[in-house]
Structure 1
Amino acid sequence: MDSEIIVRINKRYIKKYKEGYPLIFKEAVNNIHDLKGEGAILKLVDDKNKFVARGYFGRQNKGYGWVLTRKDEAIDRKFFQNKIITALNKRAPFYFDEDTTAYRVFNGEGDGIGGFTIDNYDGYYLINWYSKGIYRFKDIIVEILSRMVVYKGIYQKKRFDDGIEEDDFVMGEKGEFPIIVRESGVNFAIYLDEGDMTGVFLDQREVRKRIRDKYSKGKTVLNTFSYTGAFSVFAALGDAKSTTSVDLANRSLEKTTEQFNINGLDLDTNHIVVEDVFNYFKYAAKKEMKFDLVILDPPSFAKSKKNIFSADRDYKDLLKEVIDITEDGGVIAASTNCASFNMDKFKKFIDTAFVEKGKRYRILEEHSLPVDFATIEEFREGNYLKVVFISVS
């Protein structure tokens, strides 16, 4: 490893880092101009030059790098190997589950090294890199992973811009896409060679299972911001009376059709609508359409020709539109992956929306990230997923 850079931490933040906070942000560093060469090892010290922690320099939207240890130890190959082995051991039950063959095996700071994640898609491993800093450790991480698991192929996605184009394929055998994985016994078509998206968001696994097992039977289901229709597939397999999947992206028609087809579901009662969701809400309200179950899972930020949506600003008003098209006695599955507010604030959005609509509600259950998406208490924003099942009355 390269020689390390001394980082002098503002005394206001010393306690925060000593207690385990992992993100290095600009305001905490007194000598910010000394940070050069992404991937450099950083030694964090206090105003008396005493050791606080050690990490690495890597710019991403969250900050300037990550603390990796509060011990005065080397950040070397052995360090990475121990973290990856520990993470794999925690996921051991998944390797023996034939009904679920897609899951996360390393979740950034939740497993001790912020800046990258690793997902397993039935033996095809996908590494997501979130900064040039962590990408400097690529060879070490790939080599360790390839020795620790039995893999078919290893792929990567660089979710930062360094101006250098690289093949997503790293090593092993190239997949013949789509590869078919299983989640709770349901099939998904996965593409590791089509940009940032793979075909399913693995963090919603437990929510999809609840929709199938508890909330869909005999119900009319509306799935908004539906992407490839994963929620709709689970609802249909839960004996929903009908499903309607709405998404603005043209690809949603082909991708959602594919997910229904590989699960042996016809499209007679499973409808796919390529439309701006915001416009669809207005259309549905005008036509006095009502649904028994509405799934509301918008991105944190979305932009169409006529609408701009920001979850922390607009979720409440969007939920009010959903209330208008939900049957009395129906259920809304309200979800957000916005990390800028917590579950308490999210539930305040929900409460305000119902108060302003003059409707009563009851929270049936809540969900956050599944167990394979490991998080740490010291970094609560890492537990970004918030899902609330709401009974409308």
Structure 2
Amino acid sequence: MECMNMLKVSRFAAKKIRQGICLLDSRDFGQVPMDNQPVSLMTEQGDYLGQAYLSQQNKGIGWFFSRENVALDQDFFENLFRKAMVKRHSYFQSESTTAFRLFNQDGDGFGGLTIDIYNQYAVFSWYNSFVFSIKDTILQAFRQVFPAIVAAYEKIRFKGLDYESAHLYGEEAPSELTILENGVAYQVFLNDGLMTGIFLDQHDVRGSLVDGLARGKSLLNMFSYTAAFSIAAAMGGASHTTSVDLAKRSRELSQAHFKVNGVDLEHHHFVVMDVFEYFKYAKRKGLTFDVIVLDPPSFARNKKQSFSVAKDYHKLIAQSLDILNPEGLILASTNASNLSLEKFRQELEKGFGNRKHRYLTTHRLPSDFAYNKKDESSNYLKVFTIQVQK
């Protein structure tokens, strides 16, 4: 597939592309006369910049992918996949971790596509309709490079289709599939909406809990989803865990992780409740915790209020302090790509006020989540482990 159409870009857009930023921002392009196609980008002076494709998605209007004149054919993707495989060599060899990201958008040379591995199954995520339109070429390249992957699924992460998830090829996975991470078993589901039951970008944070960060301590896991942090803590020796999420299904999904690891539920509790309501409940009941994990969605809304990481995270910190034991730990996490590390830290500081505290560790994306080192927003994960002093 050749790039036939030419598109002249503004001086500001050309500067960003030359700096290495691959995501094309609509604010830099104004009115674009074409969509869902590859293009050659030129400066206002007519100098060749390279190749991109245009396709509207949740963030941006397309992706720059090559400074050279290349065809988006099977050979192109096979080359990318071979490079991605080399980067993840240690994951393919690991016996303790069998789920990881194999291909991560512009970090691996082509934005709009991610591929995750769960044991011998692959999950493709298409972020715009152009990538979806060339999926047959991508799948052919993938099967050539990774013949040992027995089957694949897809997730549709753009608007316009009437489904979110589907089986692509090969033998279907069990409805509940057990994978390993840091030696801990997790039950995942590959063909049930956009989620799979675990966020793989938190490998290292869960690893710190498996390694004993909460050993002998009580842990509160807010916005817990399937309580992956909680089972990691339990396997690392936590004495008690409490997992809080508003979704009714969260209890069943969370308990599955504990059961597959043979962990008795006597000291592990699952609460279906709004997080802010739980803070009030815990304070009223005199409940306190040694470790509190905060991993909210970037934006959320319920019947009573909305929540934005950029504007409201400090409220989570302030309310956590009311139920945190002396010398307790807060694990503050966000995946908001529009919030820099420093801005996130400033938002946390608003919540701490005058309370003494110190930052122990900072986690960013794990090694399998290759990111574009020229674009700070590509390394979107930010997690601080913070000790609150007396």
| 2:9 counterpart of 1:9 | yes
Counterparts of 2:118 and 2:279 in 1: how far apart (Å)?
A: 35
Counterparts of 1:134 and 1:213 in 2: how far apart (Å)?
A: 39
Please name the residue that 1:380 is paired with.
Answer: 376
Please name the residue that 1:106 is paired with.
Answer: 103
CA deviation string 1:218-271 (max 9, x = no partner): 101101100111111011111111000000000011101111100001110001
- With over 3 angstroms needed to count, the CA separation of the structure-2 counterparts of 1:390 and 1:72, relative to structure 1, is same
Answer whether contact 1:364 1:391 (CA < 8 A) is retained: yes
Answer whether contact 1:18 1:70 (CA < 8 A) is retained: no
* Aligned residue identity for 2:77: F
Deviation at 1:3, TM superposition (A): 5.0
Counterparts of 2:32 and 2:94 in 1: how far apart (Å)?
A: 49
Please name the residue that 1:209 is paired with.
Answer: 207
Answer whether contact 1:5 1:34 (CA < 8 A) is retained: no
- With over 3 angstroms needed to count, the CA separation of the structure-2 counterparts of 1:166 and 1:28, relative to structure 1, is closer
Counterparts of 2:237 and 2:165 in 1: how far apart (Å)?
A: 41
Q: 2:243 aligns with which of 239, 242, 245?
A: 245
Please name the residue that 2:328 is paired with.
Answer: 330
Answer whether contact 2:157 2:164 (CA < 8 A) is retained: no
Please name the residue that 2:51 is paired with.
Answer: 54
* Aligned residue identity for 1:142: L
Please name the residue that 1:28 is paired with.
Answer: 28
Residue ranges of structure 1 left out of the alignment (5+ in a row): none
- With over 3 angstroms needed to count, the CA separation of the structure-2 counterparts of 1:162 and 1:2, relative to structure 1, is farther
Answer whether contact 1:333 1:388 (CA < 8 A) is retained: yes
Deviation at 1:164, TM superposition (A): 4.2
Residue ranges of structure 2 left out of the alignment (5+ in a row): none
Counterparts of 1:386 and 1:148 in 2: how far apart (Å)?
A: 32
* Aligned residue identity for 2:5: I
Deviation at 1:166, TM superposition (A): 7.7
Please name the residue that 1:182 is paired with.
Answer: 180
Answer whether contact 1:375 1:382 (CA < 8 A) is retained: yes
Deviation at 1:14, TM superposition (A): 1.6
The alignment partner of 1:157 has SS state of strand
Deviation at 1:286, TM superposition (A): 2.1
Counterparts of 1:241 and 1:165 in 2: how far apart (Å)?
A: 42
Answer whether contact 1:20 1:70 (CA < 8 A) is retained: no
The alignment partner of 2:64 has SS state of strand
Please name the residue that 1:138 is paired with.
Answer: 135
Please name the residue that 1:154 is paired with.
Answer: 152
With normalisation by structure 2, the TM-score equals: 0.97
CA deviation string 1:73-119 (max 9, x = no partner): 33333222211111111111111101100000000011010001000
Please name the residue that 1:392 is paired with.
Answer: 388
CA deviation string 1:46-72 (max 9, x = no partner): 112221120111111211100001223
- With over 3 angstroms needed to count, the CA separation of the structure-2 counterparts of 1:260 and 1:166, relative to structure 1, is closer
Deviation at 1:28, TM superposition (A): 2.5
Number of paired residues? 388
Q: 1:65 aligns with which of 62, 67, 73?
A: 62
Counterparts of 1:164 and 1:391 in 2: how far apart (Å)?
A: 46
* Aligned residue identity for 1:268: E
Please name the residue that 1:18 is paired with.
Answer: 18
Matches within 5 A, 1:145-294: 145-149=142-146, 150-165=148-163, 168-294=166-292
The alignment partner of 1:187 has SS state of strand
Please name the residue that 1:75 is paired with.
Answer: 72
Answer whether contact 1:368 1:383 (CA < 8 A) is retained: yes
Answer whether contact 1:8 1:29 (CA < 8 A) is retained: no
Counterparts of 1:249 and 1:33 in 2: how far apart (Å)?
A: 40
The alignment partner of 2:263 has SS state of coil
RMSD of aligned residue pairs (Cα, Å): 1.4
Deviation at 1:167, TM superposition (A): 6.2
Please name the residue that 1:370 is paired with.
Answer: 366
The alignment partner of 1:74 has SS state of coil
With normalisation by structure 1, the TM-score equals: 0.96
Answer whether contact 1:157 1:168 (CA < 8 A) is retained: yes
Answer whether contact 1:7 1:29 (CA < 8 A) is retained: no
| Mean CA deviation greater in 46-55 or 68-77 | 68-77
Please name the residue that 1:343 is paired with.
Answer: 341
Answer whether contact 1:104 1:119 (CA < 8 A) is retained: yes
- With over 3 angstroms needed to count, the CA separation of the structure-2 counterparts of 1:164 and 1:252, relative to structure 1, is closer
